[in-house]
Chains A and B, each alone.
Chain A
Amino acid sequence: MAPLRVLLIDDEEELVVTLAERMMLRGIEVEGVTSGADAIGRVQLVKFDVVVLDMKMPGIGGLEVMKRIRREQPGIKFILMTGRGSLEEGEEGMQEGAFAYLLKPINIEDLMKKMMEAIGV
C-alpha cells in the first residue's frame, strides 16, 4: 500500500517541523508549509490524500484555504486543528465539509486515527 500523503499547514514553523517528523516516523509522507498561500501553491503541483490544517493563521484563514484547496483537488480530506477553547470554529469547518477537528495541543495518536478513518482504512 502506498504511503499516505499528507499536507500539514500551520503558521508555527517549529510545530510544522516537529509534527511532520513525528508523522514521518509513523510511515506517513508529509509535506509541511507555514502559510495558506504556500499550501495552495503545493496542491497545484502535488496530489495529497489528507490536509491537516490550522484554522487560525495570518494571511489567508483556515476556511478560505480549505475552499481553495478543494477547488484544486476536490476529493481531498481535511482534518482541522483549532486553538480555540470554543468548538465553534471546528464546528464551522465541519459544516464546510471537513472530516474532523482536533483541539490543540493535539494528541498524535488521535490524529493518526482520524487520518486513517479519513481515507477509509
Chain B
Amino acid sequence: MGFLRRMIPDYWAEEGSSAKGLFRYRRLWKYSVSLTALVSLAPLIIMTVVNYYLDQKVLRVEMIHPISQHTSNTKRSLEFFIEERLSALNLIIHDKSFEDLADQKRLISIFGNMKNSFGGFVDLGLIDAKGYQRSYVGPYELKGKDYKDQSWFHEVSLRGLYVSNVFMGYRNFPHFVIAVKNEKSGEGFYVLRATIDAETPIQKIISPLDLRPSTDVFVINREGVLQTSSRFHGKILEKSSVPVPPFSSRPEVLEGHTREGQSYLLGYAYIERTPFILMIVAQRAALMKNWLSVRRDLIWFLVGSVVLILLVIFWGSIYMVSRVREADLKRDALLHNVEYTNKMASIGRLATGVAHEINNPLAIINEKAGLVKDLALRTEDFPQKEKIIKNIDSLLANVDRCSTITHRLLGFAKRMDVSLETINLELIIREVLGFLEKEASYRNISVHFHIPEGFPSIQSDRGQLQQVFLNIINNAFAAMKEGGRIDISMREERDEDAVAVTIKDNGHGISKEDLPRIFEPFFTTKKEGGVGLGLSITYGIVEKLGGRISVESTVGQATEFTVILPAKKTRF
C-alpha cells in the first residue's frame, strides 16, 4: 500500500475548499501522464509490432525456401528413378522381339543384365495382348497368370505405360509395378511388366542424411495412402494423417495443421506419370524454436521497459505537478502578502494623514482650553468658577484621549517600516490588547500575564511583532465564548538565546485534522468566511524574524500558540 500511495500524488485526495484548483492539478497530472506515455510508449509498441510481423515474414520465407528446394530436388530424383526404369523396360520391349521375350531362358538373361544395371527390380514378365503371362522371371509363381480383367492391364493397353500404387504382395514387402506396351503392327500388342522394390531405393532417395529430426519425408498416392513409411504420419499403406494436397504440376509449399492441431509446413510435388505424391512435412514449432525463445526474451524486455517507463512517467509527473502546485501556492501566498502589505501601507498613509491633520487643531484646542483654565484660575472667585474649571479639565482629558488615538494610528502606520529596535514584549502585547479593549470588556474576556522577573527585552521589529500578536490574539478572541480567559506567559529559552511567548485561550480548540494545516494559506475554519491568511502571514513573519511558531490544541478545551523569538539581532 505504501508503494501505491507513493504513486498517487498528495493533491489527488484533497477535496473541499479549493476543489476547482485541485481539479486543475489533477487534470494537469492526467495530461502529463497520458501525453508522456503516448509519445514514449506508442513508438515503442508500434516498432515492436511492426518488427514482429516483419520478422515473421522473413522467417516464413526462410523456412519455406529450404523446404521448397528440398521438395524440388527430391521430386527430380524420384522422377528420374522411375523414368530410368521405365526407359529400361521400353528399350528392352522395343529391342527384343516377342519371341525373344517369351523365351524363358532369354528373359532370365535379360533380367540378370537389368538387375546388374539398375537397382530395385524384383521380377520381370511378358504378358500378351490377351492378358496372359507368357514368361516370367522372379520369386513368384506367376507364369500363366491371366491379367485380362485387371485394371492395370487395361490402363497399359490404353496409355502404353503404367505405374502402380505400392502394395505388399505375396511376400509381404512393399513394392510397385511398372509396365510398358509394344504395339506390333496388325498383330495386337504385348506388355513387359516389372516389379520394383518400393522401400529401400525410394527411401534412400527421399531421406537424405542431414534431414532434421522433426522433418518427415514420405510418399503418398492420390488417395492419401502412404507409399513409404513415415516418421510421424503413419505406417506404410495406412492413410496419411496429412491430407492430400491439391494438384499442381510444380513443387509447392503449404501451411497446415494436423488433426492433432500441430502446425506444419508441407512441401509437396506430384510425380509425373505415377500415382505418387512426394510429401515433406516440417513441424513449424521445431523450426521456430530458436526464434520463439528470442521472441519470449524480447517480450519480457518490452514488458519490463513499459513498466519502467510508466513508473518514471508517473513519478516524473507527480514530481513536476507537485512543483508546479508548490510554485502556484507560493505565488498566491506572495501575491496575497503583497496585496495585504499594500493595503496596510495605504491604511498607514491614510492614518498618518488623518492623525497629522487632527493633531494640529487638537494642539490648538489643548492650548486654548489650557489658557481658559489658566485665566480662570488666576481670576477672583466668580459664579460657576469651579464648574467651569471642572469642565475644562474634562475637555483637556478628552484632548488627551484623542491624542492617544492619533499616536496609536501613527504607531500603526509605522509598522510598514522594517527596522530592529529594542522591544519590550509585554508592552507590545499590551498595545495590541489596547485595540481589543472594547471587545474584551463587552464580552467579559480576561487576559492574564505571567512574566518572570527580569524578563529581557529583545531586538526585533515592532510593527511585525504587533501584527503577529494581533493575529494570534484575534483568533483567540474569535474562538472563545463570553467570559473566556487568555493566559499570556513568557519564558527565556537560554539554550538557544531566545524567548518564548505562549498565548493560551480556553476556546473551542482546533481538530486534529485541521491542526497541521492552519498555517497554510487560504485555510480557514471560520464559518463566516475568513480569508485564511492571518496565520499564514503570522507564520511568515515569525520565520522572517528568525523565530518559529507552534500550536497545540485540545478540542473544546484550549488552544496554545507558542512563538519563539531570537533575543539578539538576527540578520535578515
List A residues at the B interface (Cβ < 8 Å): 12, 14-15, 18-19, 21-22, 25, 83-86, 103-106, 108
Partner of A12, one of B364, B378, B414: B364
Known: A85-B407, A85-B413, A86-B410. A22 touches B363 (CB 8 A): no
Known: A85-B406, A86-B410, A86-B411. A105 touches B378 (CB 8 A): no
Count contacts on B: residues with CB < 8 A to the other chain. 28
Q: Report whether A22 and B367 are in contact in the complex, using a CB–CB cutoff of 8 Å.
A: yes
Residue with the highest number of chain A CB atoms closer than 10 Å, among B356, B370, B399: B370
A14, B371: Cα distance in complex, Å: 12
**Contacts of B408 on A, CB cut-off 8 Å?**
85
A83, B414: Cα distance in complex, Å: 14
**Contacts of A104 on B, CB cut-off 8 Å?**
359-360, 362-363, 403
A85, B371: Cα distance in complex, Å: 25
Q: Report whether A106 and B409 are in contact in the complex, using a CB–CB cutoff of 8 Å.
A: no
Q: Report whether A105 and B414 are in contact in the complex, using a CB–CB cutoff of 8 Å.
A: no
> Min CB distance, A57 to chain B, in Å?
11
> Min CB distance, B191 to chain A, in Å?
142
Q: Report whether B413 and A105 are in contact in the complex, using a CB–CB cutoff of 8 Å.
A: no
Partner of B355, one of A14, A85, A105: A85
Q: Report whether A83 and B359 are in contact in the complex, using a CB–CB cutoff of 8 Å.
A: yes
Q: Report whether B410 and A105 are in contact in the complex, using a CB–CB cutoff of 8 Å.
A: no
**Would you call B65 an interface residue if the criterion is a C-beta within 8 Å of the partner chain's C-beta atoms?**
no
Return 25 A-B CB contacts under 8 Å, by A number.
Answer: A12-B363, A12-B364, A14-B367, A14-B368, A15-B360, A15-B364, A18-B368, A18-B370, A18-B371, A21-B371, A22-B371, A25-B371, A25-B375, A25-B378, A83-B359, A83-B363, A85-B352, A85-B409, A86-B411, A103-B407, A104-B359, A104-B360, A106-B366, A108-B370, A108-B374
A14, B363: Cα distance in complex, Å: 10
Known: A83-B360, A85-B355. A105 touches B367 (CB 8 A): yes
**Contacts of B371 on A, CB cut-off 8 Å?**
18, 21-22, 25
Name A108's closest neighbour in chain B (CB-CB): B370
Known: A25-B378, A83-B363, A86-B414. A105 touches B368 (CB 8 A): no
Report B368-411 CB contacts with A as 1/0, cut-off 8 Å.
10110011001000000000000000000001100100111111
**Contacts of B359 on A, CB cut-off 8 Å?**
83, 104-105
**Contacts of B413 on A, CB cut-off 8 Å?**
85
**Contacts of B364 on A, CB cut-off 8 Å?**
12, 14-15, 18
**Contacts of A84 on B, CB cut-off 8 Å?**
410
Partner of B363, one of A25, A85, A86, A106: A106
Q: Report whether B367 and A83 are in contact in the complex, using a CB–CB cutoff of 8 Å.
A: no
Partner of A22, one of B352, B374, B403, B406: B374
Residue with the highest number of chain B CB atoms closer than 10 Å, among A15, A22, A105: A105
Known: A21-B371, A25-B378. A85 touches B366 (CB 8 A): no
> Quick one: which of B10-63 are within 8 Å of A by CB?
none
**Contacts of B403 on A, CB cut-off 8 Å?**
103-105
**Contacts of A14 on B, CB cut-off 8 Å?**
364, 367-368
**Contacts of B356 on A, CB cut-off 8 Å?**
83
A18, B408: Cα distance in complex, Å: 27
Q: Report whether A15 and B363 are in contact in the complex, using a CB–CB cutoff of 8 Å.
A: yes
Q: Report whether A105 and B374 are in contact in the complex, using a CB–CB cutoff of 8 Å.
A: no
Residue with the highest number of chain B CB atoms closer than 10 Å, among A21, A85, A104, A108: A85
Name B409's closest neighbour in chain A (CB-CB): A85
Residue with the highest number of chain A CB atoms closer than 10 Å, among B367, B378, B408: B367
A108, B407: Cα distance in complex, Å: 19
Q: Report whether A85 and B367 are in contact in the complex, using a CB–CB cutoff of 8 Å.
A: no
> Min CB distance, A115 to chain B, in Å?
16
A53, B105: Cα distance in complex, Å: 169
Q: Report whether A15 and B367 are in contact in the complex, using a CB–CB cutoff of 8 Å.
A: yes
Partner of B367, one of A19, A86, A103: A19
**Contacts of B406 on A, CB cut-off 8 Å?**
85
**Contacts of B378 on A, CB cut-off 8 Å?**
25
**Contacts of B355 on A, CB cut-off 8 Å?**
85
**Contacts of A103 on B, CB cut-off 8 Å?**
403, 407
A1, B360: Cα distance in complex, Å: 35
A104, B411: Cα distance in complex, Å: 15
Name B414's closest neighbour in chain A (CB-CB): A86
Name B417's closest neighbour in chain A (CB-CB): A86
Residue with the highest number of chain B CB atoms closer than 10 Å, among A19, A103, A104, A108: A104
List of 3 A-B pairs having minimum Cβ-Cβ separation, nearest first: A85-B410, A105-B366, A18-B367
